[in-house]
Amino acid sequence: MAATKKVTKKVEKETKVTTKKVEKPVKEEVDAKVLKQYHVSKREDGRWQVKNVKAEKALKIFRTQAEAIAYAKTVATNQDGSIRVHSKAGKLRKAK
């Protein structure tokens, strides 16, 4: 009779270990919003670029800041994103 009590205790321990819940991180939602940010900034050669926040290369290059902002607005609207406009010095000027 003592042997059956030990077996019952082992089974209870096993079920306790397997009842853990694992929750998915919320980081995926934040990353999706960040990926839809487009930055308008001045390049070293004096032209203006529109870049995705995580990209190394520019999406498109323009002669004026106004042209770059207009393009960035179009892309951000199509992608349900936002734009960040940098000043000539490189600091954030506007967030739209």
- Count of positions (residues) in the chain: 96
What 3-state DSSP class applies to 95?
A: strand
Asked whether the beta carbons of 83 and 39 are under 8 A apart, the reply is yes
In the structure encoding, which two tokens stand for residue 78, read together?
């199509």
Return the domain boundaries, the chain: 36-96
Q: Quote the pLDDT of residue 47.
A: 97
- What's the number of CA atoms in the CB half-sphere (13 Å) around residue 10? 5
CA dihedral 87, 91, 95, 96 (to 10 degrees): 20
Tell me the pLDDT band of 10, cut-offs 50, 70 and 90: low
- Is the pTM here over 0.85, yes or no? no
- In this predicted model, what pLDDT tens digit does every residue of 54-77 receive, in sequence order? 999 999 999 999 999 999 999 999
Average pLDDT, the chain: 80
